[in-house]
Amino acid sequence: MADYDISRMTFDSLEDLASTIGRVLQVPVTIEDRNHHLLAYSAHDAATSDSARTGTIMSHQVPERVIDALWEQGAIQRLADTTEPVWIPAIASVGLNRRIAIGVRRGTELIGYIWAIETRTFSAEDVAFLKEAARVVSFKLIQWNAGRQAQEDARREFFRGLLMGRISSDEALTEKKRALNLKLPKQFAVVAFACSKPEANWADNVTYVVTTSQRIKPVFQTHSRDRLIFLVGPGSAGLFVAGICQDFVLSTLWTVAERFGHHDIDGGCGQVYSSYIRVPDSYQQAESVLQLRGLFPEQLANVHTYGQLGMLRFVPKILEAFPRDSLINDTLVRLHDYDQRHRADFTETLEVYLNHGGSMKDAAQALHIHINTLTYRLKRIEEIGGVDLNSPHQRMSLYFDLKLERMMKHLNHESE
C-alpha cells in the first residue's frame, strides 16, 4: 500500500472519502451510520462484491437478515466494545463474504461503521490506515450531523405539533409538508414505547432496533425521559394493517431485551389512519394500550394494538363520560362487603372466573383450587350478590364493571 496520510487530505463529500478509502485499500468499502443506514460507498465490480453489499446499496440500508446474522455471530457486539478493527467471517446464509470493519466514534460514542470486503490479506499498514480513516470519517460525520441538526429539529417540532393536534386542517398540513420538503406515507400509525426504569441509553437502543427493522418504516420520532414515540408507515407496498404493527412491537420488545438486556420496556400502537389530522387519535390510543396493559397484564399479555383491546378500550372513555358514583354495581358492593366482613375472596374468584371466559377448568387452575370448590364458591357468589352467572348479559356486565373498578382505584391512587 502506498504511503497515504488520509488525515491531511481534503474531501468534498462522504462519497469522495469512501472512494479514497476503497481505492487505497483496494477493496469495496461502505460507510454506515450507527443504525446501519448507508451513507457512502466505493466503486466495486461483480467479482469483489456480494449480495449483502448489493442489497445494502439498493435499499440504502443493510438488510435486516444481515444485521440479525451479524448480531448472532457477535460481530456488532465486538465492534461496540473495541476501537480496533474486527475481522468478520463469511456468513454464506445471508450472502456476506469475509469482512473487516471498524466502529466510527465521537469520543466513546459509536456513531457509525466502515465495512470493507476482505478480497485480499490486510497488512499491518492497511490496518493502521483503516484506523486513521475511521478518525477522519468521524470528523466528517460530526460535521454532517451538525449540518442536519436544524432540519431534524424542524421535523421533530412538526411531529410534536401533529401529536398535540396543532395542525388541524389538510391545508395547513400541505403547507408544512412543502416547507419541510416532506414525503409522508399514505397510511400511518403512532407507536409508543415506555420504560419503567429509564437508563441513559434505553431510547437509543430502542431506536436502533426500530430503524434497523424493515417490517415498518419510521417517519418521525420524539422522546422524553420514559417515552419514545414514533410515527410509522408500511415497510413495503401493500395494505398496512394493525397486525403488522402488533408483530413489529412484539419483535422490537423481544430484540431489545435479547440484545441490550432491557426487560422493563413496553409498547403500544394506535389505529392505522390515512388522514394526518388523526395523528393525535392514534397517539392517545397507543397511550391507552400502555395504560390498560399495566392495569390488566393477564388479559392483555399479548395485546399491543388498540384494536385488539376489545371492550377494554371503552373503560377510560366511560370513566370520562359518566360520574363515578353512577357506575356502582350492586352485586360487587355486596361481594366487597362480604369479603371484608368474613375475610373471604369471592370478588377475586369471580374476576378470575370471568377472565377465563367462564371456563371452570381454567379458572380452577388459575386459583389453584379443585373444580368442586370453585362450583361451591360460584354458588355462594350468586347467593350473596343476587346475580345469575348463567346469564351472558349479567356476566358481561360484571366483567366490565370489575375493570371499571380496577381503573378507578388506579386513578384514585395516582391522584393521592
Domain boundaries, given as residue ranges, for the chain: 6-147, 182-320, 323-415
Q: Please give the pLDDT value at position 147.
A: 75
DSSP track, 250-283: HHHHHHHHHHH---SEEEEE---BS-GGGHHHHH
- At a CB cut-off of 8 Å and minimum separation 6, what does 257 contact? 263, 265
Q: Please give the pLDDT value at position 62.
A: 94
Q: Please give the pLDDT value at position 153.
A: 87
CB–CB of 377/303 below 8 Å?
A: no
Compute how many other C-beta atoms are within 10 angstroms of the C-beta atom of residue 296: 18
Q: Rounded to the nearest 10 degrees, how much is the dihedral formed by the CA atoms of 165, 168, 172, 177?
A: 50
Q: Which three cell numbers stand for residue 238?
A: 401493500
- At a CB cut-off of 8 Å and minimum separation 6, what does 263 contact? 257
Q: Please give the pLDDT value at position 3.
A: 59
Q: What is the pLDDT of residues 29-41, one digit of tens each?
A: 999 999 999 999 9
Instruction: Give dist(CA 314, CA 401) in Å, integer.
Output: 11
Q: Please give the pLDDT value at position 45.
A: 73
- Torsions phi, psi of 29, nearest 5? -130, 145
| Residue ranges of the chain with per-residue pLDDT less than 70 | 1-4, 46, 237-239, 414-416
Amino acid residing at 297 = P
Q: What is the pLDDT of residues 87-102, one digit of tens each?
A: 999 999 999 999 999 9
Decide if domain 182-320 falls under CATH 3.60.21.10.
no
Would you identify the CATH topology of the domain 323-415?
Arc Repressor Mutant, subunit A (1.10.10)
Instruction: Give dist(CA 308, CA 209) in Å, integer.
Output: 24
CB–CB of 224/163 below 8 Å?
A: no
Q: Please give the pLDDT value at position 1.
A: 53
Q: What is the CATH number of domain 6-147?
A: 3.30.450.40
CB–CB of 66/57 below 8 Å?
A: no
Q: Please give the pLDDT value at position 415.
A: 61
Q: Please give the pLDDT value at position 310.
A: 87
Q: Please give the pLDDT value at position 205.
A: 94
Question: What is the end-to-end Cα distance of the chain in Å, rounded?
Answer: 71
